Structure 1
Amino acid sequence: MNRRPTILDVASHAGVSKSTVSLVLQGSPLVKGETARLVRQSMSDVGYVYNRAAAQLRSASVGLIGMVINDLRNPFFTEFATTLQMALSSSGYATVMANSDEDPELQSRLVRSMIEHGVSALVISPTYGDVAASFDQISRAGLPTLQVLRKVDDRLDQFPFASFDYFDGGVQATRHLIAEGARRIAFIGGTEGRPITEERISGYRHEMTRIGAKPLVLYGRPTRANGAALAEELLRDHPDVDAAICFNDLVSLGMMASFGRLGRTVGAGFRLVGFDDIEESAQVWPALSSVSCDIATFGKETATTLLDWLIRHQKPVAERREPVRLIVRASSTGKT
């Protein structure tokens, strides 16, 4: 025999079924002693070596959950993934986590790899773009799958969606700035045309229309670097603006850095509100007001929802939006 002997070779040599050989390998008491001795002798005769580590890995995949996250460099998504992983771990499930880096093709490859490695379920915070390949293969595999934070596939009967009430977040932030005396309020950051951007802008637009003010939106990738660049553009081209809501806290932190370099005071001089309330928001100076999404609780609830589906067959509602609340700090009030 030129190839490595398999469990089927052992079964054939011993004249028993593959299942009987498997039970012997597991040390099951269901197999009679004489039959077990026969199987072990056949293993020796054909040169079969049991790879226990590989068998344990295959067995463990029953309790393996896949996570595909669009941007693990962003603390918002990192906190979500970490909380979700820890919640699943406390229930005895291992996780395999991957960063799609906002790349639809990479996301498709990651999903395929996780399916091939036998995950029991998936949680995906998807990238935008052509994502049909990702979700079509999940559909064929029949895996319980939650799409979270971004809705990119409308087959909610197969891929239930959960996120936050971003519209209300925009409303709360804009009303707060108006109450603080701001009148020329801008919205800064977010990639133009993406649903998540429009969701976060929608509440701002609603409130600006309510008070009869003209919205001003400066789009840009939601990063610190773009926040810094957009701050310079705002001061140069729109010097009358006295407040801003940012797509996320990273944009806000970039703006604050530029304002500091350019000698413009954030707080009483220019009121600023971010989105997401990442940990750094409370630690910078001045502390950053931000729309809190309580991503840690969201991660725990996502774990509970997925396990209820996987273990108890309680399928989630098609779409769920969690409440948000504005955390007011010095960046929007000037009060330290």
Structure 2
Amino acid sequence: MTATVLTHLQRTLAESLAGAARRAGHLAQTNISLLEGSRTAHVLVTAPGGRRTVLQVSPLAARGEWIRAQTARLNQHDLDIVWFTTDTQDPPWLAKVPAVRVTAPVHPGGPWTAPAAVQQLKAEACTCGPAWRHGEHRTWAPPEPVTLPVLLDDLLARRLLHATTQTELPGRRFTSWAWGRDVRAEAEHLRGLAANAGALTDAAGTSIPSIPRRHLDGRLAVPLGRLLEAARLWGHQNTGVVCHIETATADWMAGGLVVTPSSRPTGRTVPAVTALVRPLPHKIAWNSPLSAVPVLVGSPEEYFTLRHTAPKNAQILIL
């Protein structure tokens, strides 16, 4: 059995987790050996109904492959696990398993805080432009901070669900913890979009939205501005080359905007068109070169509007 060596800060966190679980009405045991070859469970919580959850402080510089393997192994033995990290920034694996990044109390005796833990589903009017006509969107707000005792109470009571524990649906976008009612509402919304994709496509108009102008403070208009910045970053991550956005000129680009590399490194093959951003639904001919280029959109509503007429091999990604 492998023991986990914790720093003083991490030991304090484990003690806080155990105390918060007990105050919420659960049995909490510390430093429990569970499975051969697994690390000692820092806190094993048993709910009144018998469900067991491991609250584990992640090792420093933990690798994502190891974290995911340990999570899967415990799940196979009917044990839930939630990882807690004291890293100052989100580690790469944070959104891949049920996990929370926490910060220590500002004042001695104060609560630990999860600075970006819980997302809420919100409804907002569609501002995609006259070529889309979605009416209303469902969107996830950025994660909000919450104190550790409050988070743990809701988490252990199953009022909060993690994105990685949910059945994948096209268009699902929350990445952390969310209220069960919001998760169910989003699933219902996405299934409705999929069932009515033809109506979304038929409702798309023929007006061409203008390219967003910059505000006086230099920021692009939203939400298209947000999408363009996300598309530029996506292009950089997928090519390793800094990318920029250009106005599409070729007819096959269907009035979209183009992600292109800002430079063409010698000896490297980088596509001239990295991706196409939000092409107009009424102008798309999927038998053109469009089907070979990743298409980037900013919402599930846009995804299903395009997916309805797209071939199966078309790559449509929501950013």
TM-score calculated relative to the size of structure 1: 0.27
Q: Which has more helix, going by share of residues?
A: 1
Q: Which has more strand, going by share of residues?
A: 2
> Which structure has the greater CA radius of gyration?
1
TM-score calculated relative to the size of structure 2: 0.29
Higher RCO structure, 1 or 2 (CA under 8 Å, sep 6+): 1
